[in-house]
């Protein structure tokens, strides 16, 4: 008897219900999948688990020690990347006015604005480089550029020298370090992704809170130029320590572990040191993903067609206009309302401290409640803090309330937007996507503060901050509106579908049979309360092309890389259940993450395909995936490549094909022709 027919009868149960349900017409199962084979597959894949040392992962909130080391490295990067151009730059401005007395305050301030803007504008380049060459090399190069730029700034004799060094060069270096830092935590955490990114980006507030008094003390002790050199040397020393430990800036990422092993290189004996732990962190997720995932600039631009990504990008664009205005003008506004300069500095410092606390707190709330709801609330709360609290701030207490509220909630654009990108589009190319998004925002940021300064000057001789406040407030309101539109498009991508007319007809026919009615409602309540994400995965499990086509017609392109709670994408499920039809359809989609690793085993779709019990189906799936760019060199958490998980040595064709592909992945030219020939035999 045909196993697929058994599966259909089991699901439809026409004799018991007496009503032909719509699901029976479309439910198909791959011929080789019976209950026994499914159990065997599950057993084989479940045994390929992480090493015993990973048993404490749940107690460390899913990411494990390596994940939190990566978060720590990201936090330290955040301490430095924005301090010399944003959070500490106010200290430099005061002393630069003494060094360059012929330059206006606005001209000096534009040095910091240039550095911040370049950090974001260069994001598209640094993001693509991080996805192409790896997070660790990109971050290390960025840290070196940051250090050299500050040392170069210390030899400036004219203001334009600062524009080149502390502005443009530091901005480029900060961009190269920042985007890997913001992207890495998402690769270790799923359930607690908001907390992980919140802790990482809290480094900006921590840096502003700690480096501001340190910088001021150094300037008073030595001078401003030696202070720049000391800060540059600090960045360089930190980067050298982390890089020599196997993880630049403590960023644990997917780096060249396979190549080291294949060359037979021994690892340093550093197990009992923190450097050793950092080195282990860099090996936590196996590599060579970047080898097959090398997005070009034009390939990365396809995401602008997605309404979710477009909404988030427009939110960054509009909100960035007003992002720096409160930070740059809060202290001068304090003097304007009659407070002392020291009180204004205290308000700014405490506000930066609230950013440190707020970003961690927002991450926890996002994990417990919802990232979507938290981001939506924060976007409107940020706009409210400027339009309402700043316009009514006439005392120390009210201005402090405004500053702390603003800095606490504006961090959502830094900490929660990357979470939104990871949830909507996956983590495989997250650095380039965030880079594109923030690059657009950087253009607006570059003009925001000078625009506010021009508006403020235009109110003279009757100085008024109201137009400046309204400029910042309106930009933040527009950003909140764009976040609201993202929430809508995100809801459309994950909403439950509406019951079909078939269900209504079935209910009508069953009005006189209460038991049948209950069965119909029970069956359809499961089917029709599934989100689009769940329907996609269900279609791939069943190899149901009609259902897959229906789901893809309803959804945006971001749905393709959606993962379940275990990190399995539609490709993972299609490979696990031998859904070759769905596998081929999915491989045609632009942006499909063919080398994504799931959370539990660290398996790629190729691992799932190679582990399938039926050799013929396994070979078909392996060929489809490898032709689509899958690499054989990624090791899962059990330290196994796809070749290692082949369940039976009699699967000679599968093993042979994978071996040819592995040699091709390692760059042996003659194997590429053999691989193409083997792939075309069927």
Domains in the chain, start-ordered, CATH in brackets? 63-493 (1.20.1250.20), 531-679 (1.25.40.20)
What integer is the mean pLDDT of 25-47? 35
Tokens of 192: 């607690």
Looking at residue 272, its pLDDT comes to 41
What is the pLDDT, as a whole number, of residue 662? Answer: 83
How long, in residues, is the chain? 682
**Residue 4's pLDDT is what?**
36
* Tens digits of residue pLDDT in 37-92: 333 333 333 333 333 334 444 434 455 677 777 777 777 777 777 777 776 776 78
Per-residue pLDDT, 484: 92
329 vs 520: which has the higher pLDDT: 329
d(CA 440, CA 597): 30
Q: CA-to-CA distance for 63 and 280, rounded, in angstroms? A: 14
The encoded tokens of residue 663 equal: 């040699």
- Give pLDDT, residue 149: 92
Give tens-digit pLDDT for 475-534: 999 999 999 998 888 787 665 544 444 444 444 544 455 555 455 444 444 444 456 677
Q: What are phi and psi of 231, to 5 degrees?
A: -65, -40
CB neighbours of 612 closer than 8 A, spacing ≥ 6? 41, 575, 576, 578, 618, 621, 647
Q: Confidence band (pLDDT; 50, 70, 90) for 290?
A: very low
pTM of the model: 0.55
Higher pLDDT, 534 or 113: 113
Mean pLDDT of 563-590: 81
Mean pLDDT of 275-303: 42
**pLDDT for 477:** 94
Q: What is the b/e burial string over 151-174, where b = at least 16 CB atoms within 10 angstroms of the residue's CB?
A: bbbbebeebebbbbbbbbbbbbbb
Average pLDDT estimate for 292-301: 46
Closest CA to 182 of 168, 169, 167, 198: 198
**So what's the pLDDT on residue 495?**
58
How sure is the predictor about 474, in pLDDT bands with cuts at 50, 70 and 90? very high
Supply 370's token pair: 């919802």
Per-residue pLDDT tens for 218-248?
888 888 899 899 988 888 877 665 554 434 3
- pLDDT in the model for residue 331: 76
Helix, strand, coil share of the chain (percent; to 5): 75, 0, 25
Q: What is the pLDDT of residue 62?
A: 55
314 near 304, Cβ under 8 Å?
no
CA 207 to chain centre: 22
* Residue range 164-179: mean pLDDT, rounded: 88
- Rounded Cα–Cα distance for residues 131 and 246 (Å): 19
In angstroms, what CA-CA distances link 207 with 23, 210, 248, 406, 438? 57, 5, 19, 17, 21
Q: What is the mean pLDDT of residues 92-113?
A: 79
Q: Report the alpha-carbon distance of residue 149 to residue 498 in Å, rounded.
A: 58
Q: Is the pLDDT of residue 277 over 70?
A: no
The confidence band for 577, taking pLDDT boundaries of 50, 70 and 90, is confident
User: What are the angstrom distances between the C-alpha of 10 and each of 14, 34, 471, 539?
Assistant: 9, 12, 64, 17
State pLDDT tens for residues 402-420: 989 998 888 767 777 777 7
pLDDT value, residue 383: 92
Cα(66)–Cα(343) distance, rounded to whole angstroms?
Answer: 42
Residue 67 vs residues 40, 179, 253: alpha-carbon distances, Å: 32, 17, 9
Query: What's the CA gap between 117 and 438, in Å, rounded?
Result: 9
Rounded Cα–Cα distance for residues 314 and 486 (Å): 10
Considering Cα of 612, then 615, then 620, then 622, what sign does the dihedral take?
Answer: positive
Q: Note the helical H segments in 100-192.
A: 105-121, 123-133, 135-153, 159-162, 170-183
Residues 398, 390: Cα–Cα separation, whole Å: 8
DSSP, collapsed to helix, strand or coil, labels residue 531 as strand
Positive or negative, the CA dihedral 400, 403, 409, 414 is negative
What average pLDDT does the segment 642-651 reach?
86
State yes or no: pLDDT of 370 exceeds 60: yes
Q: What average pLDDT does the segment 640-667 reach?
A: 84
d(CA 385, CA 477): 11
- Other beta carbons within 10 angstroms of residue 447's beta carbon come to 14
> DSSP alpha helices (H): ranges in 426-513?
430-458, 466-494, 501-509
Question: Rounded CA gap, 317 and 518, in Å?
Answer: 51
Residue 208 has φ and ψ, to the nearest 5°, of -65, -35
Residue 615 has pLDDT above 90, yes or no: no
**DSSP character for 598?**
P
pLDDT of amino acid 450:
77
Between 599 and 319, whose confidence is greater? 319
Report pLDDT digits (tens) over 523-571: 444 444 456 677 777 777 777 777 777 777 655 555 677 777 777 888 8
What's the pLDDT score for residue 384? Answer: 92
Give the angle 379-380-381 at the CA atoms, nearest 5°. 95
Q: Give the rounded percent of residues in the chain with a pLDDT score beyond 70.
A: 67
């Amino acid at each position: 008897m045909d196993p697929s027919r058994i599966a259909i009868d089991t699901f439809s149960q026409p004799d018991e219900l007496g009503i032909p349900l719509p699901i029976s017409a479309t439910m198909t199962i791959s011929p080789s999948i019976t209950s026994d084979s499914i159990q065997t597959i599950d057993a084989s894949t479940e045994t390929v688990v992480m090493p015993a040392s990973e048993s404490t992962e749940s107690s460390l909130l899913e990411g494990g020690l390596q994940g939190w080391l990566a978060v720590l490295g990201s936090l330290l990067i955040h301490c430095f990347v924005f301090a010399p151009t944003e959070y500490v730059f106010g200290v430099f401005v005061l002393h630069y006015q003494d060094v360059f007395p012929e330059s206006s305050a606005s001209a000096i301030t534009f040095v910091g604005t240039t550095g911040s803007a370049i950090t974001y504008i260069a994001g598209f380049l640094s993001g693509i480089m991080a996805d192409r060459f790896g997070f660790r090399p990109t971050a290390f190069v960025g840290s070196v550029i940051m250090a050299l730029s500050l040392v170069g700034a210390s030899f400036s004799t004219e203001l334009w020298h600062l524009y080149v060094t502390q502005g443009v060069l530091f901005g480029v270096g900060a961009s190269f370090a920042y985007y890997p830092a913001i992207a890495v935590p998402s690769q270790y955490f799923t359930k607690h992704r908001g907390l992980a990114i919140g802790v990482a980006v809290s480094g900006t507030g921590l840096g502003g809170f700690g480096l501001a008094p340190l910088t001021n003390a150094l300037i008073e002790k030595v001078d401003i130029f030696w202070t720049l050199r000391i800060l540059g040397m600090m960045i360089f020393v930190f980067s050298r320590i982390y890089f020599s430990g196997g993880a630049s800036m403590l960023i644990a990422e997917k780096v060249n572990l396979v190549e080291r092993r294949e060359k037979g290189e021994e690892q340093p004996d550093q197990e009992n040191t923190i450097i050793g732990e950092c080195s282990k962190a860099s090996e936590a997720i196996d590599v060579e993903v970047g080898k097959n995932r090398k997005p070009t600039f034009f390939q990365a631009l396809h995401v602008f067609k997605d309404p979710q990504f477009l909404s988030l990008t427009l939110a960054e664009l509009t909100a960035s206009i007003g992002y720096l205005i409160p930070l740059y003008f809060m202290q001068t506004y304090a003097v304007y309302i009659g407070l002392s300069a020291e009180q204004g500095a205290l308000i700014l410092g405490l506000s930066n401290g609230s950013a440190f606390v707020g970003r961690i707190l927002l991450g926890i709330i996002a994990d417990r409640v919802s990232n979507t709801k938290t981001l939506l609330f924060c976007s409107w709360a940020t706009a409210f803090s400027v339009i309402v609290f700043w316009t009514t701030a006439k005392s120390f207490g009210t201005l402090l309330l405004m500053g702390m509220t603003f800095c606490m909630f504006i961090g959502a654009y830094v900490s929660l937007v990357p979470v939104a990108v990871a949830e909507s589009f996956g983590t495989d190319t997250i650095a380039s996507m965030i880079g594109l998004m923030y690059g657009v925002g950087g253009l607006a940021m570059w003009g925001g503060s000078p625009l506010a300064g021009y508006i403020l000057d235009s109110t003279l001789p009757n100085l008024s901050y109201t137009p400046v406040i309204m400029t910042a407030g309106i930009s933040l309101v527009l950003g909140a509106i764009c976040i609201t539109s993202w929430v809508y498009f995100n809801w459309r991508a994950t909403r439950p579908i509406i019951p079909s007319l078939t269900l209504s007809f079935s209910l009508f026919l069953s009005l006189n049979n209460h038991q049948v009615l209950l069965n119909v409602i029970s069956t359809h309540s499961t089917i029709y309360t599934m989100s689009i994400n769940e329907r996609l995965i269900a279609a791939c499990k069943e190899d149901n092309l009609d259902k897959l086509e229906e789901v893809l017609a309803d959804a945006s392109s971001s749905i393709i890389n959606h993962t379940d709670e275990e990190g399995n994408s539609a490709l993972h499920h299609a490979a696990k259940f031998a859904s070759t039809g769905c596998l081929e359809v999915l491989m045609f989609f632009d942006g499909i993450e063919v080398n994504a690793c799931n959370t539990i085993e660290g398996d790629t779709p190729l691992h799932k395909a190679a582990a399938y019990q039926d050799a013929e189906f396994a070979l078909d799936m392996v060929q489809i995936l490898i032709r689509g760019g899958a690499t054989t060199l990624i090791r899962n958490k059990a330290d196994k490549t796809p070749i290692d998980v082949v369940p039976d040595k009699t699967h000679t064709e599968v093993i042979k094909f994978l071996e040819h592909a592995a040699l091709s992945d390692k760059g042996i030219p003659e194997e590429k022709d053999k691989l193409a020939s083997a792939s075309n035999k069927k």
